[in-house]
């Protein structure tokens, strides 16, 4: 962790500032704390492999004891959930290799870690809507001189969308340590990961951010009122900020992995200070499929809201938020590759791509992708070679727009 984080980190229990306990085991390089113990008025917490762990679940206690005993490698094992044995060694070997991909590390963590869908995340319908909303709202309120936080951000797929908008770099917060560890290394290099519990008070100072968001996770938070109160506290300040909740499920309409969602009216009632705008995801999705703009000035009918399995919530007093926004891609930092949802076969000087969903469950949940992913596409080999070299030939721009070609983090798979 960068020592500048001390300005915004606060104990979730006493609200006090932290300092590095220099009388205990610690390792630092220049302005980065690699391993150590942070102390506040009430408690001590570990920093494990550069990530502050600011909760008191069993793995965090075990990790703290390992750091106190001067064994940072064991602390990392405790936080990734691999205490001993072959699996832990596989993870450590993959983590130590500079050529490992995101997929290699995911596989080293074993079958219990994450479903295989991460490969397709950057083209799934949930992602493309959230990405457009995030870039529109964060771009408006941050203006490149305030900071964003992605809470319950998992391995940072949407934190990546904030990298050029947030200054200083965005914070990626999640309870699940291996995900934020992956996010920092692959998905959103340069972000600041913080391990904390979304069901408790947030370990950040009031007004530390201009933009706070939670995507595709709010339905799993039980303490929803506390959570919204906390996100609102984090963006309080003289300049208007924004709270955004992307893709939260709707208690009035069933969806896969339903969680404990509320109705649209229930979500509105969580917000005390600012009246939020609640959108049916289908309308925003249609905006994105037609190439924009994304219309945040829209007011969806009660029927549209009640009938949509997923909702987007935006709360801001910034005058530029509730209007039409062009859809703008982030600057390219990764590499363009053929979407792994396509099977590729040679056809002379060309390649024939065929859309193939990995299974029926995926198609059930993400089948709306067929509105932009064509069933078949042709690609010239020399265009593909240019793409691999980092150029997008004009002939491929439409395939990029339609997500047949996707920009992925380097060493993703």
Residues that bind Zn ion (CB under 5 A): 11, 13-14, 16, 40, 42-43
Q: Least distance (Å) from Zn ion to the CB of residue 15?
A: 7
Query: What distance lies between CA 244 and its chain's CA centroid?
Result: 13
Closest distance of CB 201 from Zn ion, Å:
10
Q: How many Å is the Cα radius of gyration of the chain?
A: 22
CA contacts within 13 A on the Cβ side of 278: 25
Task: Give Cβ neighbours of residue 156 (< 8 Å, ≥ 6 apart).
Answer: 150, 172, 179, 180, 182, 183, 184, 187, 188, 191, 193
The residue (of 16 and 115) whose beta carbon lies closer to Zn ion is: 16
Q: Least separation, in Å, of the C-beta of 283 and Zn ion? A: 44
Q: List all residues 6 or more positions away from 301 whose beta carbon is below 8 Å from its beta carbon.
A: none
Nearer to Zn ion, 43 or 355 (CB): 43
The nearer residue to Zn ion, 45 or 181, going by C-beta atoms, is: 45
Nearer to Zn ion, 40 or 191 (CB): 40
CB 356 within 8 A of CB 346: no
Provide the token pair at 327.
Answer: 């859809």
Q: Cβ atoms within 10 A of the Cβ of 233, count?
A: 19
d(CA 56, CA 138): 31
Q: Is the peptide bond before 380 cis (omega within 30 degrees of 0)?
A: no
Task: Give the strands of the sheet with 277-280, arranged side by side.
Answer: 192-195, 171-174, 148-151, 211-215, 242-249, 310-316, 277-280
In a 13 Å sphere around the CA of 16, the CA atoms on its Cβ side amount to 11
- 3-state class percentages of the chain: helix first, strand second, coil last, to nearest 5: 35, 20, 40
Instruction: Give dist(CA 135, CA 119) in Å, integer.
Output: 22
Residue, CB closest to Zn ion = 11
Residue closer to Zn ion (CB basis): 153 or 201: 201
Would strands 342-347 and 294-295 be described as parallel, antiparallel, or unpaired? unpaired
Cα separation, 317 vs 175, in Å, equals 29
14 vs 332, beta carbon nearer Zn ion: 14
Provide the minimum distance between the beta carbon of 17 and Zn ion in the complex, in angstroms, as a whole number. Answer: 9
Closest approach of Zn ion to the CB of residue 285, in Å? 43
CB of 12 to Zn ion, least distance (A): 8
CB of 196 to Zn ion, least distance (A): 13
Q: Considering beta carbons, is residue 12 or 276 the nearer one to Zn ion?
A: 12
Q: How far is CA 125 from CA 55, 121, 242, 310, in A?
A: 33, 9, 23, 11
**Minimum CB distance to Zn ion smaller for 42 or for 73:** 42
Q: Which is nearer to Zn ion, 13 or 362 (CB)?
A: 13
CB of 176 to Zn ion, least distance (A): 22
Residue number, 230 or 383, with CB nearest to Zn ion: 230
Pairing relationship of beta strands 310-316 and 277-280 according to DSSP bridges: antiparallel
Work out how close the CB of 203 gets to Zn ion at its nearest, in angstroms, rounded to a whole number: 9
Closest approach, Cβ 48 to Zn ion, in A, equals 18
């Amino acid at each position: 962790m960068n020592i500048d984080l001390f300005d915004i980190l606060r104990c979730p229990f006493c609200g006090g500032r932290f300092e590095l306990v220099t009388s205990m085991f610690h390792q630092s390089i220049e302005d980065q704390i690699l391993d150590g113990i942070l102390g506040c008025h009430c408690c001590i917490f570990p920093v494990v492999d550069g990530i502050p762990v600011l909760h008191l679940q069993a793995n965090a206690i075990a990790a703290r004891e390992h750091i106190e005993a001067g064994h940072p490698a064991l602390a990392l094992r405790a936080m990734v959930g691999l205490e001993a044995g072959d699996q832990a060694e596989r993870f450590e070997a993959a983590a130590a290799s500079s050529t490992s991909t995101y997929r290699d590390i995911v596989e080293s963590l074993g079958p219990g870690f994450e479903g295989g869908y991460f490969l397709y995340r950057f083209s799934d319908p949930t992602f493309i809507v959230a990405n457009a909303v995030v870039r529109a709202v964060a771009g408006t309120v941050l203006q490149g001189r305030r900071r964003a936080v992605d809470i319950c951000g998992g391995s940072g797929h949407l934190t990546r969308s904030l990298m050029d908008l947030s200054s200083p770099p965005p914070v990626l917060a999640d309870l699940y340590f291996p995900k934020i560890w992956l996010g920092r290394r692959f998905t959103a290099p340069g972000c600041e990961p913080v391990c904390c519990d979304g069901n408790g008070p947030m370990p950040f100072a009031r007004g530390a951010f201009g933009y706070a968001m939670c995507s595709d996770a709010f339905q799993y938070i039980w303490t929803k009122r506390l959570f919204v109160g906390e996100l609102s506290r984090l963006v309080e300040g003289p300049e208007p900020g924004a709270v955004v909740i992307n893709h939260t499920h709707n208690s009035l309409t069933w969806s896969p992995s339903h969680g404990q969602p509320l109705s649209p009216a229930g979500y509105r009632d969580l917000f005390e200070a600012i009246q939020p705008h609640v959108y049916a995801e289908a309308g925003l999705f249609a905006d994105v499929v037609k190439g924009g703009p994304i219309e945040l000035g829209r007011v969806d009918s009660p029927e549209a809201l009640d009938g949509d399995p997923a909702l987007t919530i935006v709360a801001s007093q910034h005058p530029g938020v509730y209007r039409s926004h062009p859809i703008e891609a982030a600057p390219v930092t990764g590499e363009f590759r053929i979407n792994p949802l396509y099977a590729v076969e040679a056809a002379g000087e060309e390649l024939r791509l065929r859309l193939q969903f990995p299974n029926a469950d995926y198609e059930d949940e993400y089948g709306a992708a067929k509105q932009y992913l064509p069933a078949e596409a042709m690609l010239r080999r020399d265009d593909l070679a240019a793409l691999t070299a980092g150029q997008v030939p004009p002939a491929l721009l439409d395939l990029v727009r339609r997500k047949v070609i996707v920009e992925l983090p380097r060493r993703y798979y």
